Structure 1
Amino acid sequence: MLNLFIVAILFFLLVFSTFLVVQLPFITFLFADIPTEVTVSYSNSLIATGYFLSSMQIPIIILSSLILNPRLNFFFISIYYAIGFYGIPIFYGGGGKEYLNQPTIGYLISFLPVSIILSRFAWKENNYKKYLFNSRYIFFLAFVALLSIHFIGLITAFIVLGANSSFINLFQAYFYIPFLSQLLLIAVTCIFATNFNRLKFYVLAKYRRYVNKTLKNSTKRRQLVKK
């Protein structure tokens, strides 16, 4: 029951995060053209700094992967896909089958496999103290997940736009700038996920002890009544 409640909350956060756009700072070497979607605050012949707009989808996906087990993650993201591809605009930039032609489709496609794999490693052997409560291990997994999401996003963007754009420009726009800028968000997400899991398992342990104690007391009362 608790897990279903958490799934419902995370689904609401994922849909809400689609429309929650934040400004993330970036710094990049001018090895390629600066995307038109970003705002440049300073630039010279070598580097450029500024900010770009990003939704909170990826941090929520990684958060769900660290809080939910693989089966619940599959259920959670599959529902999100089904509603979005049905036509309800809950994806970043719209919804429906026509979204498959968007250059950002790779990010969306990557959510399910990356989330399940990340969740499987985070919940490895159900050894909570060794894995779920290990901040360094969790951050490493989230780092690899973020890297994988942007890599898949880059490859699919090149497939969709490859004939019209150079790979180095796509690398700058779809991988380098967003990946580095989102690392701080992912670090905060990992800290929250680790502490949330600690709290969840603490509450569950207290609840189990309370139930066991109540059952024991009930058994003792029945035995006394029989006597």
Structure 2
Amino acid sequence: MKAKEVSLVALFVALTSVGAQISVSIGPVPLTLQVFFVILAGLVLGPKLGFLSILIYDILGALGIPVFAGFSGGIAHILGPTGGYIIAFPIATFIAGLGRGKVRYLTSLMGLLVIYLIGWMWLARFVGFNKAFILGVLPFIVPDIVKAATAVIIAERLQGNT
């Protein structure tokens, strides 16, 4: 990896960590800016480097570095109710990063879908299937679509594709 790529990967680890702290508690799953940076990482870095940046974020959190929402970290957090969302982040980043041009909107939404599906199924182990959907998916659909669309617009501007 080139120095610029290493720097960009590290930047998105840091941005995602900061985004996790911008949080509104609305139940077992907080509303944060993590998803925004997860999608943006894929769009800006591409699928491989984006995946790597968010995987590093997940690993740092799993090792106990307080990068998750509420300055939390540790393997217990990954194994807890919101762990599925965290596990889904690198996959979503990879999928979002596959898009070019107007397809970016679609791949970003597909990335969100992966986060929702994995997070929902994981959360359902703790609170049941229906309650997990109500608490862990439904309140996030509109805000996350806005975040994903904003990420696409920013990525296009950063890459000069306006």
Superposition TM-score, scaled by structure 2 size = 0.85
Give the partner amino acid of 2:147.
Answer: L
Point out 4+ residue stretches in structure 1 off by more than 3 angstroms: none
- Secondary structure in structure 2 of the residue aligned to 1:92: coil
Q: How far is the alpha carbon of 1:179 from its aligned partner?
A: 1.5
- Could you tell me whether the CA contact under 8 Å between 1:142 and 1:186 is conserved in 2? yes
- Could you tell me whether the CA contact under 8 Å between 1:147 and 1:179 is conserved in 2? no
What percentage of residue pairs aligned between the two structures are identical? 26
Post-superposition Cα deviations, 1:131-187, rounded to whole Å, max 9, x if no partner, equal: 2xx2x311111111112211211111012333xxxx322211111111223211221
- Could you tell me whether the CA contact under 8 Å between 2:78 and 2:87 is conserved in 1? no
Q: How far is the alpha carbon of 1:14 from its aligned partner?
A: 0.8
**Structure-2 separation of matches of 1:100 and 1:184:** 26
**Structure-1 separation of matches of 2:30 and 2:56:** 26
- Secondary structure in structure 1 of the residue aligned to 2:159: helix
**Structure-2 separation of matches of 1:75 and 1:106:** 18
Please name the residue that 1:21 is paired with. 23
Structure of greater Rg? 1
- Secondary structure in structure 2 of the residue aligned to 1:145: helix
Please name the residue that 1:191 is paired with. 153
Q: Structure 1: which 5+ residue stretches go unaligned?
A: 24-35, 39-51, 123-130, 200-227
Q: Which has the higher strand share?
A: 1
Please name the residue that 2:110 is paired with. 144
**Structure-2 separation of matches of 1:189 and 1:78:** 19
- Could you tell me whether the CA contact under 8 Å between 1:139 and 1:190 is conserved in 2? yes
Q: Structure 2: which 5+ residue stretches go unaligned?
A: none
**1:5 aligns to 2:10 (yes or no):** no
Please name the residue that 1:209 is paired with. none
- Could you tell me whether the CA contact under 8 Å between 1:101 and 1:160 is conserved in 2? no
- Shift in alpha-carbon separation, 1:117–1:184, aligned structure 2, 3 A: closer
- Secondary structure in structure 2 of the residue aligned to 1:16: helix
**1:175 aligns to 2:137 (yes or no):** yes
- Could you tell me whether the CA contact under 8 Å between 2:63 and 2:75 is conserved in 1? yes
- Shift in alpha-carbon separation, 1:174–1:168, aligned structure 2, 3 A: same
- Shift in alpha-carbon separation, 1:174–1:53, aligned structure 2, 3 A: closer
- Equivalent residue in structure 2 for 1:37, among 27, 42, 60: 27
- Shift in alpha-carbon separation, 1:154–1:186, aligned structure 2, 3 A: same
Please name the residue that 1:118 is paired with. 96
- Could you tell me whether the CA contact under 8 Å between 1:88 and 1:95 is conserved in 2? yes
Q: How far is the alpha carbon of 1:69 from its aligned partner?
A: 2.6
- Could you tell me whether the CA contact under 8 Å between 2:120 and 2:136 is conserved in 1? yes
Please name the residue that 2:60 is paired with. 83
- Equivalent residue in structure 1 for 2:125, among 146, 156, 159: 159
**Structure-2 separation of matches of 1:53 and 1:82:** 20
Superposition TM-score, scaled by structure 1 size = 0.63
Post-superposition Cα deviations, 1:62-110, rounded to whole Å, max 9, x if no partner, equal: 0000011333123312321222111111112421111133111110000
- Secondary structure in structure 2 of the residue aligned to 1:198: coil
**1:105 aligns to 2:83 (yes or no):** yes
Q: Which has the higher helix share?
A: 2
Q: How far is the alpha carbon of 1:22 from its aligned partner?
A: 5.3
